[in-house]
Amino acid sequence: MRDELVSYRPGDYLPAEFQLAERFCVNRHTIRRAVDELVREGSVLRRQGKGTQVLERPLIYPMQADSAYSQSLSAQGIGVEAILLLRRECLASHEDALHLGLAEHAPLIEMQTLRKLDGQPVSLICHRYSARYSDVLADYQGGSVRQYLAERELPLSRAQSLIGAR
């Protein structure tokens, strides 16, 4: 049953349990357990009175210190877009200072970008840099931050990545 999920689009509903049982030549209890497993995996969602809905397939992306997010996903044929939402000056928190090797309350440049994959918003990213790079970052308007900095001969070094989901 899992293999057949690829033939459905996100938002589609699976056939009723009795139809799936007939199709796979098993009893409804077996189908129910298979669907339970797909629910646990996050592949489908049971909707009371409506049926079982296919969910968006999760994007699997390996993260490493030198990962180039845009480049890696583009190579997989995924349209990647980064939109600059905010650029502001702020002061380093205690945690920022530790991760960036700066003094607490040192001036920082914070940029927030919205990442879209194939036109769909997938993440909001908060970048923080020492204010000594403010002149270089002043022209950044969106796109790959790594590529932008590399074009200016400033290699990006990721101090920390925190990832959350809702």
Cα 85-87-88 angle, rounded to 5 deg:
135
Judge residue 108's burial from the number of C-beta atoms within 10 Å of its C-beta, 0-12 exposed, 13-18 middle, 19 or more buried: buried
Can you give the pLDDT of all 166 residues of the chain as single tens digits? 888 888 999 999 999 999 999 999 999 999 999 999 999 888 999 998 899 999 987 666 555 555 666 777 777 788 889 999 999 999 999 999 998 999 999 999 999 999 898 888 888 889 999 999 999 999 999 998 888 999 999 877 766 666 665 5
Fold designation for 69-151? Chorismate lyase (3.40.1410)
Give start-end residues of each CATH 1.10.10.10 domain in the chain: 2-54
Domain boundaries 2-54, corresponding CATH code: 1.10.10.10
